[in-house]
Copies of this chain bind each other. A is one copy, B any other.
């Protein structure tokens, strides 16, 4: 049976890289039934739609969503990101943001291999807060982080389950418990309680500032890292930077309970400066498609694609896609 995939190419280089991802999946013999959804900044400028509730309801009928990138310079920053990306994460309950990092950090001589599990539906991303006396010398702006036991626990549990499938079985919690005492206490307590259910799994805790040092100086210490929404945002861009560049960073926005489709997207943005020039590296999109295949129960195709991405070179978008597709076909 063909997998029903909603494809949101989006803006800038987005449609170029998703096209290569689909090419590679088809080369791997995966049966796909794809439908294009015209969403993103360009669409918004045309008729005002970012992601209507009707479109969201349609998306629920698919097995998965493959997204390229959204955002254009003509739309104020944040509008499309919040209205489309964050709306999908929240409304489809994509509570795990999984981002794998395999690469050799600058100044190191051997590759690391770790994965960050970022909570994707709570924390400082909920939009809690407000502003008082805007525009006056007495203005006060607040921004809240909301964390629930349910939300924190299901994310941490996913991280421990993932660790069971990996050689090292090691999970590190990253937070800032010494300062963010309310949220930190909930995260730490929940982490310790879930960890007790996995006695064979080693655990560690790092403050987020220390974790940034280790990502650069000692990335080999990590296997599975679990953290909150904002720290995960920060650490995964840093993870990309120390793993061959953000152009290779893939991500899965998962609803592990499968009450709806999950969403897969490269971590990079829409790069309007090189859009339409066949210049963007499609590897991150291809690797995101591999994560999608893992989740859709096609681990062999996923593994073949991942292997084919190794040193796939840095030619044009289509030539890198062709190279990977050719290797996959072999």
Interface size on A, as a range, is 35 or more
8 Å CB interface, A135-172 against B: 135-150
Contact with B along A164-182 (1 / 0, CB 8 A): 0000000000001111111
Q: In the complex, are the beta carbons of A179 and B81 less than 8 A apart?
A: yes
Identity of the chain B residue whose Cβ is nearest the Cβ of A136 in the assembled complex: B149
Can you spell out 21 A-B residue pairs with CB atoms less than 8 angstroms apart? A77-B177, A77-B178, A86-B179, A106-B107, A106-B108, A106-B216, A107-B107, A124-B145, A128-B142, A131-B182, A138-B149, A140-B148, A141-B185, A142-B145, A142-B146, A142-B147, A143-B144, A143-B184, A145-B145, A209-B234, A212-B238
Chain B residues contacting A183 (CB-CB under 8 Å) are 129, 141-143
Which residues 181-226 of A have a CB within 8 angstroms of B?
Answer: 181-186, 189, 208-210, 212-213, 215-217
Q: When the two chains form their complex, are residues B129 and A182 in contact, meaning their CB atoms are under 8 A apart?
A: yes
Q: Are A237 and B210 in contact (CB under 8 A)?
A: yes
Chain A residues at the B interface, C-beta cutoff of 8 Å: 77-78, 81-82, 86, 105-108, 124-125, 127-131, 135-150, 176-186, 189, 208-210, 212-213, 215-217, 230, 233-234, 236-238, 240-242, 245-246
A127 touches B181 (CB 8 A): yes
A146 vs B129: C-alpha distance when bound (angstroms)? 9
* Copies, count: 2
**Residues of B contacting A106 with CB < 8 Å?**
105-108, 216
A269 → B minimal CB distance (Å): 9
Assuming the A-B contacts A107-B107, A183-B141, A212-B212, are A82 and B178 also in contact, with contact meaning beta carbons closer than 8 angstroms in the complex? yes
Q: What residues on B are CB-neighbors of A129 within 8 Å?
A: 144-145, 180-183
Which chain B residues lie closer than 8 Å to A125 at the CB level?
179
Q: Which residues from chain B contact A142 at a C-beta distance below 8 Å?
A: 128, 144-147, 182-183
A230: B residues at CB distance < 8 A: 176, 179
CA of A119 to CA of B82, assembled, Å: 26
Judging by beta carbons under 8 Å apart, are B136 and A147 in contact? no
A217 contacts which chain B residues (CB < 8 A)? 241, 245
User: Is B186's CB under 8 angstroms from A139's CB?
Assistant: yes
**Complex Cα spacing A138 to B152, Å:** 11
A306 to B141, CA, bound (A): 39
Partner of A137, one of B105, B150, B189, B215: B150
Q: Which residues of B contact A145 (CB under 8 A)?
A: 124, 129, 142-145
On chain B, the residues within 8 Å of A236 by CB distance are 209
| Cross-interface CB contact of A212 among B81, B139, B143, B237, cutoff 8 Å | B237
Q: How far apart are the CA atoms of A139 and B153 in the complex, in Å?
A: 11
CA distance A139 to B149 in the complex (A): 5
Q: Is the CB of B144 within 8 A of A186?
A: no
